[in-house]
Amino acid sequence: MLHPKFKAAAALVAVLILSAGFASAFAQSKGAAEKVNINTASAGELEKLPQIGPKVAQRIIDFRKENGGFKRIEDIMKVKGIGEKIFGRIKDLITIGNEAAAK
């Protein structure tokens, strides 16, 4: 038979594990709903992406104005300052806005 202190500790651990699971699931569902549309986002919205500062955000806006928008999210690597490393960090956070239509 477990000592009452151990029962309380075990219950606390179980609650913490369940809480972490719910928090993770919520964060994933929230993140999926809040992708940044690189074809319409303002500079401020773009700057919320990891490693995207004011200069790169402006380059993204300039690129889409000059080229008619991004056709694929990978096209963002055509913007000076965004290479494979940064793309790897932001690819799950960005959208071009019509993935549903493409499927």
Phi and psi based region of residue 52 (left: phi greater than 0; alpha: psi -120 to 50; beta: remaining): beta
CATH 2.60.40.10 fits 36-102, yes or no: no
Mean pLDDT by 10 residues, the chain (103 residues): 61 55 47 82 97 98 96 97 97 84 42
Cα dihedral 80, 84, 90, 96 sign: positive
* Predicted pLDDT of residue 28: 45
> pTM for the complete prediction?
0.65
* Predicted pLDDT of residue 98: 72
* Predicted pLDDT of residue 23: 47
